């Protein structure tokens, strides 16, 4: 897998006319595990990969060229999501990846939903990125108005290995339900949206930064609603797990959908403690330079909320030494 990624990246370098310069400067390939292509992790990962890359032969920063890390070719890799990314980082399959703050903390400590698993003590944080909202999606005329109404319904919880699957189970539990009380499906992105539209499921969960692409498309083609995640169940969830907070998805985020109160978690960027300190320092520095700011602002609707000032918000897994050095030098960490 890693060799094939290197081959693909090298092919891209050759395609950009970097044949003569590649041999003069060592190439460094860096993967970012994201999520399904229909949600938020994947496009944001692509923007960040672009921001931190600087293949040999690139024009200099400030002269119309890349302000990334010299010789670095980063790539966003589609994956099953948070749990899959954490496992891939620890196994060495991927250089880094995005994960929900709750999933990462439980993996690092071997607690919560990861109770009984070997703690992922080599997991390290590069940055907190943006807030992710838990979307519970149903058709407008479905009669599903609360989590309790899911009992006996056909509900997609997303794939095992995704953060959505973890959180969907926690939400059911907080509302007195379990996976046995629904007919559970494991659909992602466009497949879940299509199944809802065609009446094959009654509802599905998505944990994503809004607006999620698959839901934008669904709302333009069908009358949908976002089911509120509020009341005693939401209160129990936020009280038990500090990672969750009550938050609103504004009206108009999705066509015809009213403002909806739900719960949210943080999306964060992780790597392994074994990654080179100087490399992660330079990646973190590249992420937060002014040129990257321009890319983030126009690259995705969530990009404007990805800021250096919030890069340490809700971090529960230790910073990588390289990232920590950058934040100290930038005055963001005492």
Could you report the per-residue pLDDT of 75-110, keeping only the tens digit for each? 999 999 999 999 999 999 999 999 999 999 999 999
CA-to-CA dists, residue 262 to 175, 226, 247, angstroms: 13, 9, 6
> Domain 132-266 belongs to what topology?
D-Maltodextrin-Binding Protein; domain 2 (3.40.190)
Residues forming CATH 3.40.190.10 domain(s) in the chain: 2-130+267-329, 132-266
218 contacts 137 by C-beta, under 8 angstroms = yes
**pLDDT range class, residue 15, cuts 50, 70, 90:** very low
Tokens coding 72: 């670095």
Count Cβ atoms below 10 Å from residue 315 Cβ, excluding itself.
18
**pLDDT range class, residue 21, cuts 50, 70, 90:** very low
Beta bridge partners of 260: 249
**Who wins on pLDDT, 130 or 38?**
130
Tokens coding 331: 């005055």
* Strand, coil or helix: 309: helix
Say yes or no to pLDDT of 22 above 60. Answer: no
Q: Taking all residues of the chain, what is their mean pLDDT, rounded to a whole number?
A: 91
279-282 contacts: CB < 8 A, separation 24 or more?
A: 279/28, 279/30, 279/69, 279/72, 279/322, 280/126, 280/320, 280/321, 280/322, 280/323, 281/322, 281/323, 281/325, 281/326, 282/69, 282/72, 282/322
Please provide the DSSP assignment of 185-215 as one string.
Answer: E---HHHHHHHHHTTS-SEEEEEESSSPHHH
Q: Note the pLDDT of residue 11.
A: 45
Q: Which residues contact 307 (CB under 8 A, 6 or more apart)?
A: none
- Determine what percent of the chain is predicted with pLDDT higher than 70: 93
Among 3.40.640.10, 2.40.50.140, 3.40.190.10, 2.40.10.120, what is the CATH number of 2-130+267-329?
A: 3.40.190.10
**pLDDT range class, residue 4, cuts 50, 70, 90:** very low
* Strand, coil or helix: 138: strand
pTM: 0.84
Say yes or no to pLDDT of 8 above 90. Answer: no
Q: Which of 322, 285, 317, 304 is nearest to 129 (CA)?
A: 304
Q: Note the pLDDT of residue 198.
A: 96
Could you report the per-residue pLDDT of 149-184, keeping only the tens digit for each? 999 999 999 998 889 999 999 999 999 999 999 999
Instruction: Give the C-alpha separation, 85 to 96, whole Å.
Output: 8
- Determine what percent of the chain is predicted with pLDDT higher than 90: 77
Q: Note the pLDDT of residue 25.
A: 61
Could you report the per-residue pLDDT of 230-251, keeping only the tens digit for each? 999 999 998 988 888 999 999 9
**pLDDT range class, residue 16, cuts 50, 70, 90:** very low
CA-to-CA dists, residue 191 to 38, 107, 226, angstroms: 10, 28, 18
Dihedral angle of Cα 190, 191, 192, 196, to the nearest 10 degrees: 100
What DSSP state is assigned to residue 94? Answer: S
**Helix pair 213-221, 189-197: axis angle to 10 deg:** 20
Could you report the per-residue pLDDT of 259-299, keeping only the tens digit for each? 999 999 999 999 999 999 999 999 999 999 998 999 999 99
Beta bridge partners of 132: 265
DSSP element (H, E) containing 46: helix 41-52
Q: Which of 147, 166, 155 is nearest to 260 (CA)?
A: 147
Across 135-157, average pLDDT: 98
Could you report the per-residue pLDDT of 41-56, keeping only the tens digit for each? 999 999 999 999 999 8
Q: Note the pLDDT of residue 113.
A: 83
């Amino acid at each position: 897998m890693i060799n094939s990624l290197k081959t693909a990246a090298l092919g891209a370098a050759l395609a950009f006319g970097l044949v003569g310069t590649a041999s003069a400067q060592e190439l460094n390939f860096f993967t970012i595990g994201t999520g399904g292509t229909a949600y938020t992790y994947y496009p944001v990962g692509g923007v960040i990969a672009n921001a931190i890359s600087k293949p040999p032969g690139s024009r200099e920063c400030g002269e119309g060229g890349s302000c990334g890390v010299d010789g670095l070719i980063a790539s966003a890799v589609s994956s099953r999501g948070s749990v899959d990314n954490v496992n891939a980082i620890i196994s060495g399959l991927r250089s880094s990846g995005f994960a929900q703050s709750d999933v990462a903390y439980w993996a690092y400590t071997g607690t919560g939903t990861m109770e009984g698993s070997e703690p992922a003590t080599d997991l390290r944080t590069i940055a907190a990125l943006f807030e992710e909202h838990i979307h519970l999606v149903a058709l407008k005329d479905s009669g599903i108005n609360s989590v309790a109404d899911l009992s006996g319904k056909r509900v997609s919880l997303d794939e095992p290995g995704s953060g959505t699957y973890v959180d969907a189970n926690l939400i059911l539990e907080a509302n007195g339900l379990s996976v046995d009380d629904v007919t559970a499906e494991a659909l992602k992105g466009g497949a879940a949206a299509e199944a809802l539209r065609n009446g094959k499921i009654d509802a599905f969960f998505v944990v994503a930064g809004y607006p999620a692409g698959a839901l934008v498309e669904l709302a333009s083609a069908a009358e949908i609603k976002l089911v509120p995640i509020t009341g005693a169940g939401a209160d129990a969830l936020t009280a038990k797990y500090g990672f969750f907070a009550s938050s609103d998805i504004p009206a108009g985020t999705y066509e015809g959908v009213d403002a909806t109160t739900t719960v949210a978690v943080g999306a964060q960027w992780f790597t392994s403690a074994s990654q080179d300190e100087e490399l992660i320092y330079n990646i973190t520095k590249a992420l937060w330079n002014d040129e990257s700011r321009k890319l983030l602002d126009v690259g995705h609707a969530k990009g404007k909320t990805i800021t250096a000032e919030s890069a340490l918000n809700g971090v529960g897994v230790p910073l990588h030494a390289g990232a920590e050095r950058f934040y100290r030098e930038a005055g963001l960490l005492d």
